[in-house]
Amino acid sequence: MNYTEFFTNRSTSEISKDLLGRTLSYNNGEEILSGTIVEAEAYVGVKDRAAHSYGGRRSPANEGLYRPGGSLYIYSQRQYFFFDVSCQEEGEPQGVLIRAIDPLTGIDTMIKNRSGKTGPLLTNGPGKMMQALGITSRKWDLVDLADSPFDIDIDHKREIEEIVALPRVGINQSNPEWAQKKLRFIVSGNPYVSDIKKKDIKKNHGFI
Chain segment 27-66, per-residue pLDDT in tens: 999 999 999 999 999 999 999 999 999 999 999 999 999 9
Given a cut of 70, whether residue 185 has pLDDT beyond it is yes
Average pLDDT over residues 103-115: 98
What's residue 194's pLDDT?
93
pLDDT band at 179 (very low <50, low <70, confident <90, very high): confident
Contact yes or no for 133/140 (Cβ under 8 A): no
* Banded pLDDT at 1 (limits 50, 70, 90): confident
pLDDT band at 169 (very low <50, low <70, confident <90, very high): confident
* Cα angle: 6, vertex 164, 105; to 5 degrees: 60
The beta strands (E) that lie in 72-170 are given as: 72-77, 80-87, 94-105, 150-152, 163-166
Is residue 173 over pLDDT 70?
A: no
